[in-house]
Amino acid sequence: MARSRGDPRVLLTMNLALSSAFAAVVVWGLSFIDVVPFTLERVAVLAALLFVVTHLVTR
């Protein structure tokens, strides 16, 4: 069990949830200081970028 890598579905789901939450916080923070407007498209793009980068780094 110590060598188990875990269920990939759980890892992907956690990565998606955490990337989305972090992206929403970052975009909200940037909109709070009037750098960019808060839109769901910006959150989705940033979440997708974070998801891919995190997936590649953890592979």
**pLDDT in the model for residue 17:** 97
Instruction: Sketch the domain layout of the chain as residue ranges.
Output: 28-59
**pLDDT in the model for residue 1:** 54
pLDDT in tens, 45-56: 999 999 999 999
3-class DSSP state of 6: coil
Q: Whole-model pTM?
A: 0.84
**pLDDT in the model for residue 2:** 62
- How many C-beta neighbours within 10 Å does residue 25 have? 11
Compute the C-alpha angle 9/28/17, nearest 5°.
5
DSSP 8-state code for residue 39: -
Residue with tokens 């980068």: 53
Residue with tokens 């069990």: 1
